[in-house]
Structure 1
Amino acid sequence: MELLRIDHLQTSDRLPAVKTKKSVSRFLKANTEEVSWEEMRDRHVIPVFLKDNEPTISHCEFVEAVSQAAQDCFSLSEFPEADIRVSHPVKGRIYEARHKKAQDLQPSEKTIYYERMAFMVSIPGIQDQVSGNILELTIGGVKAYHLDNLNSTKGSPEHFKIFIGFKNTVCTNLCVSTDGVKLDLKVRSVEELYQKTLALMENFNPVGFLRSMASLTAFDLQEKQFAQIIGRCRMYQFLPKDLRNEIPELLINDTQVSRIVEAFYQDPSFARATNGCVDLWRFYNLFTGANKHSYIDKFLERGVNGWDFTNRVRGVLDGSHPDFWYMI
């Protein structure tokens, strides 16, 4: 695996200012829809804290703060366009239209904001390959207003999730690890959000993460082993609580397990080989592919869980941790 570009992250002339093109493949599916930053700015209202009517940190401010931190961290002259997805709309109307029927409302009389939003921004100048798949350095975040206490005042902390990792350009699957994610970031201002995002980026080790992902290609799962893992994944949801507490947590649901099995046989990029085996890189991408069907507020947790799960499988295959319940 060539790491030359990654080893020279501080060289700003290696990072051309190029606007990204929206990928045909979505990084999140489930019940989400795509919006632009301009649409959020111009059409979406901003939720407020009920006790003092002060505004929360808006989705637009969140995207701007993370993008600014990335621009400063990587010395970018221009930042690529964010790929934004939203879900769980909260609809309303202006006072003057309070007596109108819904079908008679004009666009100017409607109000809307989305309870949940996720976005990612790729940096095309920082990339590498694993098993022929181009990986782009990617940053982004998740916001879910239902995690905030909006019945309080402006001084209450707001909850965000931020990440830095790699996007597999073959499929837009997001590859993230614990070191590149903050799942419960509490801030009171946009400036604090910017500073903590910048700190996450500066402490992230892209070389180490790429090498860990590349090492997965050296391990193969036989079809029988894959079948046992899938069977145990289905069993996990129904285990007695005391037994389940002793087993590494599995966050994907039963429907996503079925998607993994379907992709094992049919995915054009990550299906099993002709001998029935699948290497752990493809196995990991079966998990990240299934994760694209998660709700926004569970997306990052399940992404990290898929990485941890795959590494535990590797521990069985290399003999370092042979007691992984899913394979014994």
Structure 2
Amino acid sequence: MELLRIDQLPVRLRPNIELTSEPSSSFIEANTEAVAFKEMRDHHVIPVFLKDNEPAISHCEFVEAVSQAAQDSFSFSDFPEPRIRVSHPVKGRVYEARHKKAQDLLQHEKTIYFERMAFMITIPGIQDEISGNLLELTVGGVKAFHLDNMNACKGSPEHFKVFIGFKNRVCTNLCVSTDGVKLDMKARSTEDLYLQTMELIAGFNPVSYVRNLATFTAYELEERQFAQIIGRCRLYQFLPKSLRNEIPELLINDTQVSRIAESFYEDQNFSRQNNGAIDLWRFFNLFTGANKQSYIDKFLERGVNGFEFTEQIRRSLDSSHPDFWYLS
């Protein structure tokens, strides 16, 4: 496997690197909608803590803090526009319009913010390729206000999730592992967010992670093995708690398991081969593709779980983990 520029970090964008337009598919779908950063900054209100009316760290401040950390880490001047998805709108109205019917409200009388937000920023020029799929280094985060105690006073740490990983450009599937994700980031200020994001980026080894991903191409599941995994994934949801605690955790839901099974036959990029087998790189992308139907607040956890689950399958096929329940 030939690394393009990953092992030369930090990197400056060079004039000879051609950046093509972003793919049209979304990195997360479910019940989300796209929103521009300017729209969010100029028209979305900022929630406050109930007891002292102090503002929470806004979605825009979160995006800016992570963006600044990434920009400083990779040493380039112009940062790409973040791709932002939001869900769970909280609608309101200005005081003067409190007696109006909803259909009579004017645009300036409406207020809105979104409880949940996820964003992704592609780092220019830092790429690699696996099995013909272009991977681009990506930084981003998730914010869900329902994880914070908004009924208290400002001062308690607010909760964030930040990641650095790779985006598969052919499908915008996000490839992340525990080394590149912080699911329990707590911060009281944007300075905290910036410093913790810098620390996460500094501790991530993109070369090692891409090499781990590339090993998936060397392992195959026969159709009967794939069918057994899918069947046991369905059983997992209904196992007694005592038995489930002894089995590697599976976070995706039954609908997403069905999507993986459907995509095994029909996915344009990652379906089975002519002999019915599927390599683990394709399997992993079926998993991350199904994860795009997760709600924002579960998206990163399930993405990490997809990598760990595929890695456990690889070890089982390699006979270093023979008691893997899904294949035993």
TM range, smaller chain: over 0.9
What is the aligned-residue RMSD (CA, Å)?
1.4
> Would the alpha carbon gap of residues 16 and 182 (structure 1) be closer, same or farther in structure 2, given more than 3 Å must change?
farther
Q: Give a deviation string over 1:49-103, Cα, whole Å, max 9, x none.
A: 1111110000000000000000000001111110000000000000000000000
Q: Distance in 1 between matches of 2:15 and 2:250?
A: 38
Q: Distance in 2 between matches of 1:163 and 1:312?
A: 22
Partner of 1:201: 201
Q: Percent identity?
A: 72
Q: Distance in 2 between matches of 1:178 and 1:153?
A: 32
Paired AA for residue 180 in structure 2:
G
Q: Distance in 2 between matches of 1:135 and 1:19?
A: 13
Q: Give a deviation string over 1:232-283, Cα, whole Å, max 9, x none.
A: 0000000011001111110000000000011100001000000000000000
1:153 shift after superposition: 1.2
Query: 1:219·1:314 contact (CA, 8 Å) conserved in 2?
Result: yes
Paired AA for residue 157 in structure 1:
P
Aligned-partner SS, 2:5:
helix
Q: Distance in 2 between matches of 1:208 and 1:285?
A: 19
Query: 1:30·1:293 contact (CA, 8 Å) conserved in 2?
Result: yes
Q: Distance in 1 between matches of 2:217 and 2:227?
A: 19
Q: Distance in 2 between matches of 1:255 and 1:303?
A: 16
Partner of 1:96: 96
**Structure 2: runs of 5+ lacking an equivalent:** none
Paired AA for residue 326 in structure 1:
Y
1:14 shift after superposition: 4.4
Query: 2:116·2:296 contact (CA, 8 Å) conserved in 1?
Result: yes
1:154 shift after superposition: 1.3
Partner of 1:218: 218
Partner of 1:181: 181
Query: 2:13·2:125 contact (CA, 8 Å) conserved in 1?
Result: no
Query: 1:83·1:121 contact (CA, 8 Å) conserved in 2?
Result: yes
Q: Distance in 1 between matches of 2:23 and 2:168?
A: 11
Partner of 2:143: 143
Query: 1:69·1:194 contact (CA, 8 Å) conserved in 2?
Result: yes
Aligned-partner SS, 2:211:
helix
Query: 1:138·1:164 contact (CA, 8 Å) conserved in 2?
Result: yes
Query: 2:19·2:124 contact (CA, 8 Å) conserved in 1?
Result: no
> Would the alpha carbon gap of residues 171 and 190 (structure 1) be closer, same or farther in structure 2, given more than 3 Å must change?
same
Query: 1:228·1:327 contact (CA, 8 Å) conserved in 2?
Result: yes
Aligned-partner SS, 1:327:
coil
- Give structure 1 regions of 4+ aligned residues with deviation exceeding 3 angstroms: 13-22
Query: 1:18·1:79 contact (CA, 8 Å) conserved in 2?
Result: no
